[in-house]
Amino acid sequence: MNIKKEYTIIITQDEDGYYIADVPELQGCHTQAKSIDKLRDRIKEAIELCLEEKNSGYPTVNFIDVQKIAV
């Protein structure tokens, strides 16, 4: 049986219109694409690669929360 783990993904959009996905639990795991659909495909691939590196000693962090703050 293959147990799947869910990851939190933070999606932003840059000034050129690209969508950017970051995975807080996997430090340095991110990708970008012109559409949300393509972004989802790419971030799945990125997560798989990051997990392969993690098994080789890649650093991980515990995701806690996403918050907004006004200054």
Which residues is 1 bridged to in the sheet? none
Residue type, 12: T
The answer, yes or no, to whether residue 27 has pLDDT greater than 70, is yes
Q: Percent of the chain, pLDDT > 90?
A: 49
Helix then strand count (H, E) for the chain reads 1, 3
Write the burial class of residue 34 (CB in 10 Å: 0-12 exposed, 13-18 middle, 19+ buried).
exposed
Better-predicted residue by pLDDT, 23 or 59: 23
Greatest mean pLDDT among 41-45, 50-54, 64-68 lies in 41-45
Better-predicted residue by pLDDT, 67 or 20: 20
The answer, yes or no, to whether residue 70 has pLDDT greater than 80, is no
Domain 10-54 coded CATH 3.40.50.150: no
**59 band by pLDDT with thresholds 50, 70 and 90:** low
Question: Closest Cα partner for 37 from 50, 12, 55, 19?
Answer: 19
